[in-house]
């Protein structure tokens, strides 16, 4: 049973699009030890072959490559030139070459990646930092989404839209391009794990920004960003997003940080509470400390506090499975939302046959270790026509927002696509016990 009568399902469906591709770095695998060819590494052999091409063959190959890329990408020569400079002296011996050779070497160390070819799901939503031109009563928002492409590798992509004063929600049509960011290590970061800074000024629209795995700890996915608009005690606003980095062998929590959604920092979180999925930062400090929800024991929702945004230890268990639709585990569905009545937390519960449903609970505003109320039945669960996809029987979200007294709830179905619902806040609170 579910509280289906509480939610209004909106006719918005965001589906994966294999035509959305980005040019990302490509690094060929090293030679297997017993097939190693002398002392010349494989990457160097590729560059040497390019430099050995005749002028005519070089011109033909480069024209073929750039013509194909120009169908989907802007500034192709700039992108390939940048990639050459990234590999020159690192993957290959430093060399001075003609411009056409540099471009073609850059192409051989690049690849097109369809970052949302298989799925587009697990959304999170925050108010946009730029509300200029928005009609009174409306709010512009940013939606983050988990796109899944080749190899089941997850990346972060974005959409923008408007929540209307009348309860309507519109999502802007995404741009036709996707632009890879410029990538730098964060100066002064940990020597063995400095984190990365991304510059996305070449994107003309936020939907053109794609954040794909860039470090060894992310190489199999950046998963389930939980965005939050954080207001510090000095009134400065920063947008954070906790997410799961998957190396292929281990997971850990990392933090996205931005003020403008043009420049981003991605940095690892530390401490014994950060080795599992599903951390979500509160939108402000509580009694002078940062606060976070976590699920470090795989089963319950925990409250964590810290003086250091990047270090999280211990915690207090605040919400545990109680109803049959959450007997397996319960977790947060994004950062807590501050309302007059307390901290509203969207939850997910896992029940029989690994069914994922959405619920909600209310925590005390001054002491979030106190659980005030919770939904006794799912707020949302997959309807019959929505049950099947990449992962059956899943309804999931990574963050909602309140506009006026209406909950705006983007959510994913079957780990495949994304839709929206709205819920009157007063009716939701009345459904809790």
Alpha-carbon distance of 50 to 83, in angstroms, equals 15
Least confident of 301-305, 306-310, 387-391, 410-414: 387-391
Strand partners, 163: 139, 169
pLDDT given for residue 329 in this prediction: 97
Q: Span 388-403, mean pLDDT?
A: 96
Closest C-alpha among 432, 377, 388 to residue 413: 388
Indicate the pLDDT class of residue 191, thresholds 50, 70 and 90: confident
Least confident of 69-83, 154-168, 184-198, 290-304: 184-198
Alpha-carbon distance of 403 to 164, in angstroms, equals 9
How do residues 126-143 score in pLDDT, each as one tens digit?
Answer: 999 999 999 999 999 999
Closest C-alpha among 234, 338, 332, 335 to residue 288: 234
Alpha-carbon distance of 344 to 364, in angstroms, equals 9
Q: Span 340-368, mean pLDDT?
A: 97
Q: At what angle do helices 99-108 and 76-87 cross, to 10 degrees?
A: 80
Alpha-carbon distance of 93 to 98, in angstroms, equals 15
pLDDT given for residue 33 in this prediction: 86
Indicate the pLDDT class of residue 170, thresholds 50, 70 and 90: very high
57 contact partners, CB below 8 Å, separation of at least 6 = none
Q: Span 337-351, mean pLDDT?
A: 98
Alpha-carbon distance of 150 to 353, in angstroms, equals 28
Indicate the pLDDT class of residue 2, thresholds 50, 70 and 90: low
The dihedral over CA atoms of 40, 42, 43, 44, expressed in degrees to the nearest 10, equals 20
Strand partners, 337: 344
Q: Span 248-262, mean pLDDT?
A: 97
Closest C-alpha among 396, 389, 305, 297 to residue 346: 396
Strands 406-413 and 417-424: antiparallel
Indicate the pLDDT class of residue 4, thresholds 50, 70 and 90: low
Alpha-carbon distance of 121 to 375, in angstroms, equals 24
pLDDT given for residue 386 in this prediction: 87
Q: Has residue 1 got a pLDDT over 60? A: no
Q: Which residues of 328-359 are buried (b: 16+ CB within 10 A; e: fewer)?
A: bbbbbbbbbbeeebbbbbbbbbbbeeebbbbb
pLDDT given for residue 54 in this prediction: 98
Query: Beta-carbon neighbour count of residue 124 at 10 Å?
Result: 28
Distance from chain centroid for Cα 177: 18
Closest C-alpha among 347, 379, 263, 386 to residue 8: 379
Query: Beta-carbon neighbour count of residue 9 at 10 Å?
Result: 15
How do residues 61-112 score in pLDDT, each as one tens digit?
Answer: 999 999 999 999 999 999 999 999 999 999 999 999 999 999 999 999 999 9
Taking CA atoms, 401 is separated from 124, 334, 415, in Å, by 9, 10, 21
Strand partners, 302: 294, 317
Closest C-alpha among 273, 269, 369, 268 to residue 313: 273
Q: Span 207-229, mean pLDDT?
A: 97
pLDDT given for residue 35 in this prediction: 83
Indicate the pLDDT class of residue 433, thresholds 50, 70 and 90: very high
Q: Span 254-276, mean pLDDT?
A: 97
| φ/ψ of residue 375, rounded to 5 | -70, 140
Closest C-alpha among 87, 223, 100, 207 to residue 153: 223
Closest C-alpha among 410, 390, 413, 388 to residue 400: 410
Alpha-carbon distance of 301 to 362, in angstroms, equals 13
How do residues 280-328 score in pLDDT, each as one tens digit?
Answer: 999 999 999 999 999 999 999 999 999 999 999 999 999 999 999 999 9
Inter-residue contact 241 to 255 (CB < 8 Å): yes
**pTM for the whole thing?**
0.95
Closest C-alpha among 165, 168, 171, 159 to residue 134: 165
Indicate the pLDDT class of residue 189, thresholds 50, 70 and 90: confident
- State the chain's mean pLDDT as an integer: 96
pLDDT given for residue 181 in this prediction: 96
């Amino acid at each position: 049973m579910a509280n289906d009568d509480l939610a209004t399902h909106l006719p918005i469906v965001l589906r994966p699009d294999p035509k959305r591709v980005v040019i990302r770095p490509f690094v060929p695998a090293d030679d297997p030890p017993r097939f190693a060819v002398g002392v010349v590494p494989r990457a160097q052999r590729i560059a040497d072959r390019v430099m050995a091409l005749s002028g005519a063959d070089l011109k033909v190959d480069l024209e073929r490559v750039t013509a194909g890329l120009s169908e989907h990408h802007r500034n192709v020569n700039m992108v390939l030139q940048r990639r050459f400079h990234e590999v020159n002296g690192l993957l290959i011996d430093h060399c001075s070459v003609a411009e056409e050779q540099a471009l073609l070497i850059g192409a051989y160390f690049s690849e097109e990646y369809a970052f949302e070819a298989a799925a587009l799901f697990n959304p999170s939503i925050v108010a946009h930092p730029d509300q200029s031109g928005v009609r009174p009563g409306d709010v512009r928002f940013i939606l983050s989404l988990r796109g899944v492409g080749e190899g089941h590798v997850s990346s972060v992509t974005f959409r923008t839209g408007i929540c209307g004063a009348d309860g309507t929600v519109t999502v802007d049509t995404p741009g036709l391009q996707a632009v890879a960011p410029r990538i730098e290590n964060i100066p002064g970061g940990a020597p063995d794990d400095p984190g990365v800074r991304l510059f996305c000024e070449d994107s003309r629209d936020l939907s053109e920004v794609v954040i794909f795995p860039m470090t060894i700890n992310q190489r199999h996915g950046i998963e389930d960003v939980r965005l939050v608009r954080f207001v510090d005690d000095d009134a400065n606003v920063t947008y954070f997003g906790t997410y799961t980095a998957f190396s292929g062998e281990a997971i850990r929590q990392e933090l996205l940080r931005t003020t403008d959604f043009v420049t981003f920092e991605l940095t690892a979180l530390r401490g014994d509470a950060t080795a599992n999925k599903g951390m979500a930062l509160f939108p402000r400090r509580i009694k002078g400390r940062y606060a976070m929800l976590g699920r470090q024991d795989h089963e319950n929702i925990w409250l964590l506090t810290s003086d250091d945004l990047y270090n999280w230890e211990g915690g207090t268990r605040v919400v545990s499975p109680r109803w049959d639709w959450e007997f397996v585990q319960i977790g947060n569905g994004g950062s807590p939302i501050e309302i007059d009545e307390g901290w509203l937390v969207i939850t997910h519960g896992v029940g029989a046959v690994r069914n994922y449903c959405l619920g909600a609970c209310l925590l005390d505003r001054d002491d979030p270790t106190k659980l005030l109320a919770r939904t006794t039945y799912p707020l949302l669960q997959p309807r019959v026509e929505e049950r099947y996809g990449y992962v059956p029987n899943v309804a999931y979200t990574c963050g909602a927002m309140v506009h006026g007294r209406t909950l705006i709830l983007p959510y994913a179905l079957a780990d495949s696509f994304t839709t929206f619902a709205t819920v009157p806040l007063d009716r939701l609170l009345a459904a809790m016990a």
